[in-house]
Amino acid sequence: MIPPLAVMPFVPLTDSEVIHRVLAGEKKLFELLMRRYNQRLYRTGIALLGHPAAAEEAMQNAWVKAYEQLAQFEERASFPTWLTRIMLNECLMDRRRQQRLVDLDDDTAEDAPDQRPAAGTPLQNLLNEELREALEAAVESLPEMYRSVFVLREVEGLSVHETADALHLTEANVKVRLLRARERLRNQLAHFAPQQAFAYLGPRCDNMVHHVLARLGAQPGAHNLN
DNA sequence: GTTTACCTTGGTTCGGAATG
DNA sequence: CATTCCGAACCAAGGTAAAC
């Protein structure tokens, strides 16, 4: 497909270009990076923390840290890889905090009902919506040890090596956990085909952008997402 | 639940044949 | 002679069964 000569194709700013302009003072352009990678961070958060509220809190902290440390980003890895590493660290810190709270007061500790999808999707729902909810519910129902491996490998596309590194596991262990996670999901999703899950779009994405930019002291604009 | 050993798959490289 | 195409060989990464 060759575009007509008179119509120049839209060339989005690369991550590197955006980063340099943010560092040069165009704070608001940071919003571009947030809208690009909110989805990725959210899935990582869900993978390690298991529920939306905790994932979103970790996301906010990760974005603020990424902004504050942007000047130290040396571009040895890609920006999303660097960003995911920050998010992973946030999630692991959060988990440690939660563990301490449970240790201090294990009588009151219990799973929050939070925002899990309700069981029994109405038949009139669109298939994609039904599937998305079923898939999210199935992944959320996995034990954390399988869920984290599954999301990092299958959703975020990390290699076996990267996943093992991030979760402090051997590569063999990652492979086996992934296999078992798939078996569990296959059993639960026998009637569906894979579709998009853990979407972090529209109002939820906007909301995250507003919160983080408010903490950074910048107002959101209306940047192209690509 | 983890590790080991083996199998499969996909990508890359290289050499030889065919073609212009 | 240069280029293109094709297939064989090799390697790395990932998947799986079985043993522990």
- Distance, Å, A155 CA → C13 C1': 18
Domain identity same for A136 and A150: yes
Domain identity same for A207 and A188: no
For residue A155, what is the domain's CATH number? 1.10.10.10
pTM comes to 0.56
Please check the confidence at residue A170 and state whether its pLDDT lies above 80: no
Read off the amino acid at residue A75. E
For residue A18, what is the domain's CATH number? 1.10.1740.10
Helix residue ranges per DSSP H, A4-51:
15-23, 30-49
Domain identity same for A24 and A97: yes
Range of the domain at A44: 14-101+199-221
Residue A112 falls inside a structural domain:
no
A145 beta carbon to strand B: under 7 Å: yes
Query: For the residues A162-166, what does the mean pLDDT come to?
Result: 71
- Distance, Å, A195 CA → B9 C1': 24
Lowest mean pLDDT among A60-69, A99-108, A129-138: A99-108
Query: For the residues A43-63, what does the mean pLDDT come to?
Result: 82
A170 beta carbon to strand B: under 7 Å: yes
Please check the confidence at residue A14 and state whether its pLDDT lies above 70: yes
Answer whether A181's CB lies under 8 Å from A29's CB.
no
Query: For the residues A17-39, what does the mean pLDDT come to?
Result: 88
The residues of A between 170 and 189 with beta carbon within 7 Å of nucleic strand C are 171-172, 175-176, 178-179, 182
Lowest mean pLDDT among A158-162, A178-182, A186-190: A186-190
Residue A207 falls inside a structural domain:
yes
Structure tokens at A28: 């608001």
**Domains of chain A: total:** 2
A77 or A121: which carries more pLDDT confidence? A77
What percent of chain A stands above pLDDT 70? 58
- Distance, Å, A223 CA → C12 C1': 41
Average pLDDT value over all residues in chain A? 69
Cβ-based neighbours of A157, under 8 Å, separated by 6 or more:
none
Domain identity same for A208 and A177: no
Domain identity same for A134 and A62: no
The residues of A between 131 and 160 with beta carbon within 7 Å of nucleic strand C are 153, 159-160
